Amino acid sequence: MKTIILISLLSFLLISCASENVSTFVSVTPQATPVSLEQNATMTPQTTLPATSVPVTEIPPTASPTSPPSIVPIPGVELFDFAGRPEWYTVDDNVMGGVSSSEVKIVDENLSFSGKMSLENNGGFSSVRSEWIPIDLSDYDGILLRVLGDGKTYRLRIRSAETGRNISYNISFETTPDSWELFYFPFADMVPTYFGTEVDADKLDTSRVGSFGFMLSDKQPGEFELLVDWIRVVSDAELEIVSMN
């Protein structure tokens, strides 16, 4: 049922990209596409998010030039839209003697995580993370995010107050060069790691999520950049409602 819901949702959202001239990539446990939000449901830190908050987007007419635009719901609540400078910071392999380097900045209201990967001195990773502000996401089932990648494989990382700052819950996603893409990641599919090594730990405690982040650790030297347009939190019920519209 969840697979059917996701396929329906992705097909539904793909229509909204017609006016943006972008390509898309779809698969079923990460994935989906771009939209332009008309209103934001930005989260207040250290609060419980509203159970149903559904911004909308306008879709260009498809029947005829004179047809009015359709209004379609975009599921979930926006956690980050990067319209202003967020409190994000980088952590690279230089903390362990490596020489990789990265920076985080805002580019056209997108979060830009970029740098140069090096394998010297047994290095090989760069990461970026948000400040530590525990929030309650227990009403939701996963993360929806829109990114522009470079063909490299990145990891979404979430840390929880329950397991502390050193354990992160990870899921990988492969980007397509020069293509905006929408990915969906169920919380239940995220794998706990301790300094990059998978560990035996409970499922992610979404009632006290401490921070979000991204990591590149593919051991491929050279320059990289990941742009993040927004990050949203979404429930299976909201996905199902959208798929039925």
Query: What are the tens digits of pLDDT across the range 219-237?
Result: 899 999 999 999 999 998 8
125-145 residue pLDDT tens: 999 999 998 999 999 999 999
Give me the domain span that covers residue 135: 88-234
Number of domains in the chain: 2
CB 109 within 8 A of CB 82: yes
Average pLDDT over residues 170-175: 96
Judgement on whether residues 52 and 139 belong to the same structural domain of the protein: no
Please state, in angstroms and as integers, the Cα–Cα distance from residue 47 to each residue in 44, 154, 207, following that order.
6, 29, 10
CB 226 within 8 A of CB 149: yes
CB 114 within 8 A of CB 152: no
**Bridge partners, 230 (sequence order):** 146
Judgement on whether residues 163 and 67 belong to the same structural domain of the protein: no
pLDDT band of residue 82 (cuts 50, 70, 90) is confident
pLDDT of 231 reads 95
**Residue 80 corresponds to which tokens in the numbers above?**
């980050």
Judgement on whether residues 209 and 103 belong to the same structural domain of the protein: yes
- Please calculate the CA angle 2-212-42 and round it to the nearest 5 degrees: 80
pLDDT of 80 reads 87
Judgement on whether residues 121 and 240 belong to the same structural domain of the protein: no
Which domain CATH number covers 110? 2.60.120.430
Judgement on whether residues 16 and 134 belong to the same structural domain of the protein: no
pLDDT of 33 reads 30
97-117 residue pLDDT tens: 899 999 999 998 899 999 999
Judgement on whether residues 7 and 52 belong to the same structural domain of the protein: yes
Considering the entire predicted model, what is its pTM?
A: 0.73
Please state, in angstroms and as integers, the Cα–Cα distance from residue 51 to each residue in 140, 145, 233, 237, 245, following that order.
8, 19, 11, 10, 19
Judgement on whether residues 117 and 153 belong to the same structural domain of the protein: yes
CB 233 within 8 A of CB 137: yes
Judgement on whether residues 53 and 145 belong to the same structural domain of the protein: no
- More confident: 39 or 138: 138
